[in-house]
Structure 1
Amino acid sequence: MSHMWTFQRVGGLDQVVFKSARDIINLPDLDPKLWVALSCPTTGLDFDERTLSLLDSDNDGRIRIPDILDAISWTQDKIISFDSIFNTSETLPLSQINSSTPQGKKLSVTAQSILVSLNKKNVDYLTQDDIQQSIKINADKLYNGDLIFPASSELSPNMQMFITTAIKTTGAQKDMSGQDGIDLNIATTFVNNLKTWLEWQTKIANTQTPFGENSTEIWKLIQLLKPKIDDYFLRVELAQYAPQAQAALNVDEKYIVPIQNGLLSEDELAELPLSKISTTNTLDLVNGLNPLWKAKISRFKTLVESSLSNPDQLTLQEWQNIQQSLQAYTALINAKPEVVQLTVEIEPSASIDDIPISIITNLANNDLLTEFEQMVEQDNQTPISASDILVLEKLVLFHKHLYRLLVNFVSFADFFLPETRAAFQLGKLYIDGRCATLCVAVDNIAKHATMANYSELCLLYCECTRHGEKQLIAAAMTAGQGDLLIEGRNGVFIDNEGNDWDANVVKIITKPISIQQAIWAPYQRMGRVITEQINKWASSKDTDVEKSSEQALQNPANKFDIGKSVGIFAAIGLAIGAIGTALATIFQAIFALAWWQVPLVFIGLFLIISGPSVILAWLKLRRRTLGPLLEASGWAINGQVKINLMLGSLLTSKAQLPTNAKRNLRDPMKQRHNKLVIIFWLAILLGVGVTGSWLWHEGYLDRYIEQHNQEQPQNKTDTNANIGK
């Protein structure tokens, strides 16, 4: 490879650095394994939606490496230099359009025409807003260069009917204004389908049958009545074969006697036999017919009377002869030609069979198709062509947004720069005195949490609502503590457009947040355990007292047991003595140390208690990574993209006073104490401390402890004797 690349180690990955336009041009030669991302979704990003839709040429909702390379190649053919793209300019200078090619020359002329139409004759650049305004202006014109025509009132009535009918039977495309219209391909296909249908109808009309012009109606009635008439004659043959089964072949009483609500069901009646079954091989066309089929049978009788020996009856042979006489007619109808179907944005909603034949004959005339072709030719000669505007729009958008896409796809440069935000960062979540800036889009919380759990990030899943709208986000908390982060807490989410949303925490993935949290976690756990034990003890004692009181009230004869009470008091005394001895031993050991050893003892205790928690938290914080979080949102990431402690402190900021602020420490709501009382108690504490130090220094405390230890066995013996008594 002749190109010299520059890489920077960021987030545990070697990420390419774009230093010049040549780095962008040579991206096809860069190994895809060195791209940070392999694909990303087109939704849930802080990126221009129109640019993403243009990049997603196959409309699968994803942007991949080939899509980006195609965009670079397409843009490179349209402009003179990539330097302006590298600088992410908001404008496209007309001088940058490569007019050395026929297409480039046409684009340059179109760009100048757009500026003239917008009264910007002296401006030599195009913006995204210029393109949008030009599209809006031209969209309202009949001849706007998009080669698609809706049924506009500016057209003749016949042409309006031509377009409307084509949309119904062949389909439609969206024009620049968003209306349904047809192009030349749809119009040509529509006319060809009409002509094919007319040829088929002509063949049917020329087919000779005994029924003349009534052939079509008779054929339709036969298709409708054939199952019922065939069923009737089959039942008659069965009745002739087995006369004892005649009753069973007729209608059971339970089907025609109303039950429940007293109403008869038409659907059930329609399934019953056509007429009463007998052994006579004829169908009475007047009497005894199923009421739901009587009208159709009567019409059929009227149309085929000439083929019946008895106009009120139909024999099996006559029924077969009528069908046989329409066999050629039926074969021709079954040979209905298939109409050509096109791939269109708006699918057809009707069939050619639904259109009156007089209208079809009029629309199939070549004059209307010729008129439409002339309209297309005139539209194609429009100075500001819709197709050229769309090409210019694509060029302006790629010129403006392509570089930002690269530093959010090939590398994550925007994510690692404090002054910028990445395309996947949707806004800021304010909660619990903190602001989290790593907020990503979420479609399904349960599915997202399964993958995002591997990121080792503390995540808050929030349901954000605003003016009836709703969105789900996952916010990473990377600084501070998590004691007050609980499900149900409320916060405010500010999106990148400045809109504020009410955020409610619906799910939390609990992970270590900071070293500070790890330091105090053991003490908080011990405090919670002690509090819980005290609550349990107090609750149990309260229950015991309540039970004892109830027993005393229920049985007044219960007397106070002096021996039992003495034993309890003796046990309490032993416990207090043991605690006092332990404290005295601890203080004796501390006072036996040199002054400089005392701080080391407390430091050692701190390390023993907090050390393991800090080490475990530090190891987990080192494993925090962005990859699984983005993978859960639909990205495909090549590496883990680590989030260290420094980056974590930047992604979540804590509340801090301004640098020039003053703090008044006098809290008006704080309880005040008398100064004399405070001084009195401080003096007492100081006196006790001095006295204790003097006693320890003179050795009195040691002698007292020794004497207490000698007397303790004798006290235990006396106590046991008292308990026995």
Structure 2
Amino acid sequence: MAELVFKRYGGSHQLKIQDAHDLGKIQTLNEALWAATSVPIDNLDCDRVFLSHVDMDKNGRIRTRELKEAQSWLYRMLAGRSHLSEGTDVLRLDDIDTSHVEGQELRKTAEFILNNLGVPQAKEISLQQVRDARSIIANAANNGDGVVPPEAVADADLAQFISSIMDTVGSTMDASNRPGVGKKELEDFFHTAETYLVWKEKGNVPAGKESTDVMPWGNDTPHLYQLVADLEEKIDQYFTQCAMVGFDERAAVQMQLRQKELEEIDFADPEVLRNRLMNAPLGKVDPEGMLDFTSAINTLYRERLLELRDKVFKRAIGEDVKQLTRQQWEKVKTIFAPYRAYVESKQGGAVEKLGDDSLRKYLQGQYRERVNELIDKDRSVADELSQILTAEKLILYQRWLLELANNFVSFANLYDPGIRALFEAGTLVIDGREIMFTMKVQDVQAHKIRSEKSYMCLLYLEVTGRQDREIAFNIVAPVTSSNIGELRVGKRGIFFSTDGCEWDAEVKDIVVNPISIWESVTAPCRQVSDFLKAQVDKLSKVREEKIQTTMAVPTTSGAARDLLLGGGIAIAALGSAFAYIIKALSQVKLSHVLGVLLGIIVIVILPGMIAGFVKIRRRDMSILLEASGWAINVRMRLSIALGRLFTHIPGLPKRARKEKRDSIGKFLKQFGYSSTFSRSFFIVVSIIVIVFLIFQLFMMR
């Protein structure tokens, strides 16, 4: 068994995979020693066709078994593997393993492509050449998919037949993304057409006959049945209402509009009136169960009801009908029952719009045979296209499989500044720093909930820009060194994606955690400071409002005198207090002060430093991947050194020079202002003098 070498990456030991020899070791590596065991493919920035090949079960994820099977297939098809570490998309023909039939066929296909491209002597074939050949075949009339688009057929009549199939039973997209018909659509069409014509024949009245079982009133049956069907529900409702009133006369009152309902009706709105009439009874409800055509009839149905009376009821009953009973109505429905069953059993309606004559023409002609021939001819190049796809797959595996392993079995690429990991989105430049590690995020809120346990300061940004269309996506960027600075919601920066495009970026959310040990130590102090500032602002606002209220009230001379006296007393009190403080400080020994300061450091600051160090050491980048759907084995602890690798403030370029003097002072002098330097110098000197005097005071004691 070959020796397995584990290299230390970011605090954890992971399999070293640098060449084909190392890649072969993943077959014997226990899955528990893999950096990850399951990866969502939408997190990987590489060729999508390659990912679709490795994702064999098409569930949107790559698991350990799938990567192992991909490696096995690659090594079976590739005898020369020295170029795997180069990540090249150019395949040497001599590297193909021709010791088996698959390899021999693949070599023939590669030579066939090169011959068609006019370079028969070439010893290499590129991914672009293979894809060009595939594109040519896909856009040809015969592209191996067994789908025939109408525009690929020269015969106009046959092309129209194919269009009729697509318009009635549907279509399938071919390899060139054009709609057409295949075997399924062809057979579905003929089955549907035959079924429809058989059904339609049952409704025909033979010559010499006036009626059939299905057509009791001959060719008038469809029209007259429609009259019955349109009012059937309303007439049934009427006779039911009559039965209810016959059982209990109080029901008639409930069917009438109440006074309040009448008052609420907007008689100027036709739509409101129509809805009321639609829900009202057909006529005056009769306890005897009679529909009287001579009495008031609901005007919304009156015209259709009278037509039904004259054309159907009179013919069914055999005399003029002034009143319709429920028994007579049931007789009418019984007459049309066979035709109703016929209508409800209708099949093949999808092809009805083509017309009976066209359907018979298609069924009786050679259309089925001719389209089948075109489909078979198209499928004849399927093997050729399949071999081209296999050649594409082999080149993609040669280009990407080793790199995928270094982003799956181990995370070597993540810790190499010269290589981008496949799950990195790009570089964020914001607040004077470069954040090298970023990831795309689909659901910001869900990702944030899980990633809060990473103990990292995280920025969630919306990235926007325009290429051929408006594009917007979200990224997460961990701030791993320096300090929080001016980073806040709404802060803007610029984002460089791995493909070299430049985008606008805006902070939309922040997960706040200490970035450095110093920030962790000073966090409680900042919280207290923020609290005190808030309280001071609150008190200042109250005092300001009180002063404004006081100033708004006119004062007397006595009040002014009292104010002056009070001010003098206050100044005297402040002077006395200051003198007392100076006297008290002069009695304190310097050693006592230093001891107290040292005690404060030991009791407060030292535990904070220890806690801050522990919290910084707990930062874990693997949580970010897990929040994006990865299954991670290794803990990706973020050390201080790694933090500087992923987030840094760039220094000035080589041979650059800083000018210390601020040019603002020169411009201020032009307007007659004193130099900012002299003022700053005076402040510094004053502070030094005060400190010196205090020190002398302690020494005197």
Same fold (TM over 0.5): yes
Moved more, 29-38 or 603-612: 603-612
Once residues 225 and 389 of structure 2 are traced to their aligned partners in structure 1, the CA distance between those partners, rounded to angstroms, is 54
Task: For 1:506, give the aligned amino acid.
Answer: K
Say if 2:219 is the partner of 1:213: yes
The 8 Å contact of residues 552 and 558 in structure 1, kept in 2 or not, is answered as: no
The 8 Å contact of residues 110 and 384 in structure 1, kept in 2 or not, is answered as: no
Moved more, 49-58 or 540-549: 540-549
Q: Deviations over 1:664-707 (max 9, x none)?
A: 222222473798997999799789969986x998xxx34xxxxx
Shift in Å at residue 418 of structure 1?
1.9
Shift in Å at residue 452 of structure 1?
0.8
Given candidates 232, 247, 261, the residue that maps to 1:226 is 232
Residues 252 and 132 of structure 1, relative CA distance in 2, 3 Å threshold: farther
Q: Deviations over 1:575-625 (max 9, x none)?
A: 323432354356x636x99xxxx9x99999877775444322211111111
The 8 Å contact of residues 427 and 436 in structure 2, kept in 1 or not, is answered as: yes
The aligned residue for residue 199 of structure 1 is 198
Say if 2:319 is the partner of 1:310: yes
Task: Within 5 Å, give how 1:26-425 maps onto structure 2.
Answer: 27-99=26-98, 101-152=100-151, 154-205=153-204, 208-209=213-214, 210-236=216-242, 259=266, 261-265=268-272, 266-278=274-286, 279=288, 281=290, 284=293, 288=297, 290-292=299-301, 294-295=303-304, 298=307, 302=311, 306-310=315-319, 316-335=326-345, 351-365=350-364, 367-382=366-381, 385-425=384-424
Residues 479 and 679 of structure 1, relative CA distance in 2, 3 Å threshold: closer
How many percent of aligned residue pairs carry the same amino acid? 25
Once residues 522 and 482 of structure 2 are traced to their aligned partners in structure 1, the CA distance between those partners, rounded to angstroms, is 12
Shift in Å at residue 442 of structure 1?
1.8
The 8 Å contact of residues 135 and 176 in structure 1, kept in 2 or not, is answered as: no
Long gaps (5+) in structure 1: 340-349, 703-725
Shift in Å at residue 472 of structure 1?
1.2
Residues 31 and 196 of structure 1, relative CA distance in 2, 3 Å threshold: farther
Shift in Å at residue 460 of structure 1?
0.9
Moved more, 210-219 or 240-249: 240-249
Moved more, 660-669 or 355-364: 355-364
Given candidates 652, 655, 662, the residue that maps to 1:657 is 652
Shift in Å at residue 333 of structure 1?
4.8
Once residues 376 and 557 of structure 1 are traced to their aligned partners in structure 2, the CA distance between those partners, rounded to angstroms, is 108
Residues 395 and 364 of structure 1, relative CA distance in 2, 3 Å threshold: farther
Once residues 297 and 677 of structure 2 are traced to their aligned partners in structure 1, the CA distance between those partners, rounded to angstroms, is 112
Residues 621 and 200 of structure 1, relative CA distance in 2, 3 Å threshold: same
Residues 243 and 692 of structure 1, relative CA distance in 2, 3 Å threshold: closer
Task: For 2:87, give the aligned amino acid.
Answer: T
Q: TM-score, normalised by structure 1?
A: 0.79
Once residues 370 and 683 of structure 1 are traced to their aligned partners in structure 2, the CA distance between those partners, rounded to angstroms, is 106
The 8 Å contact of residues 45 and 426 in structure 1, kept in 2 or not, is answered as: no
Moved more, 83-92 or 630-639: 83-92
Secondary structure of the corresponding residue to residue 429 of structure 2: strand
Task: For 1:507, give the aligned amino acid.
Answer: D
Shift in Å at residue 140 of structure 1?
3.1
Q: Deviations over 1:470-505 (max 9, x none)?
A: 111111111111132122211111111222222111
Given candidates 487, 490, 493, the residue that maps to 2:489 is 487
Q: Deviations over 1:614-663 (max 9, x none)?
A: 32221111111112212222222223321111111000011311232222
The 8 Å contact of residues 173 and 182 in structure 1, kept in 2 or not, is answered as: yes
Residues 44 and 684 of structure 1, relative CA distance in 2, 3 Å threshold: closer
The 8 Å contact of residues 452 and 632 in structure 1, kept in 2 or not, is answered as: yes
The aligned residue for residue 642 of structure 2 is 647
Task: Within 5 Å, give how 1:6-17 maps onto structure 2.
Answer: 6-17=5-16
Q: TM-score, normalised by structure 2?
A: 0.82
Moved more, 275-284 or 25-34: 275-284
The 8 Å contact of residues 176 and 386 in structure 1, kept in 2 or not, is answered as: no
Once residues 684 and 161 of structure 1 are traced to their aligned partners in structure 2, the CA distance between those partners, rounded to angstroms, is 97
Task: For 2:213, give the aligned amino acid.
Answer: Q
The 8 Å contact of residues 309 and 321 in structure 2, kept in 1 or not, is answered as: no
Task: For 2:644, give the aligned amino acid.
Answer: S
Once residues 681 and 235 of structure 1 are traced to their aligned partners in structure 2, the CA distance between those partners, rounded to angstroms, is 102
Once residues 250 and 678 of structure 1 are traced to their aligned partners in structure 2, the CA distance between those partners, rounded to angstroms, is 98
Secondary structure of the corresponding residue to residue 414 of structure 1: helix
Residues 296 and 526 of structure 1, relative CA distance in 2, 3 Å threshold: closer
The 8 Å contact of residues 289 and 326 in structure 2, kept in 1 or not, is answered as: no
Shift in Å at residue 37 of structure 1?
1.9
Residues 147 and 299 of structure 1, relative CA distance in 2, 3 Å threshold: farther
Task: For 1:261, give the aligned amino acid.
Answer: A
The aligned residue for residue 632 of structure 1 is 627
Task: For 1:46, give the aligned amino acid.
Answer: D
The 8 Å contact of residues 91 and 125 in structure 2, kept in 1 or not, is answered as: yes
Moved more, 302-311 or 286-295: 286-295
The 8 Å contact of residues 425 and 440 in structure 2, kept in 1 or not, is answered as: yes
Residues 653 and 264 of structure 1, relative CA distance in 2, 3 Å threshold: closer
Once residues 224 and 539 of structure 1 are traced to their aligned partners in structure 2, the CA distance between those partners, rounded to angstroms, is 77
The 8 Å contact of residues 12 and 641 in structure 1, kept in 2 or not, is answered as: yes
Q: Deviations over 1:393-448 (max 9, x none)?
A: 33332332222222112221111222112122101111111011121112232222
Task: For 1:498, give the aligned amino acid.
Answer: G
The 8 Å contact of residues 144 and 384 in structure 1, kept in 2 or not, is answered as: no
- The CA RMSD measured in Å over matched residues stands at 4.5
The 8 Å contact of residues 275 and 290 in structure 1, kept in 2 or not, is answered as: no
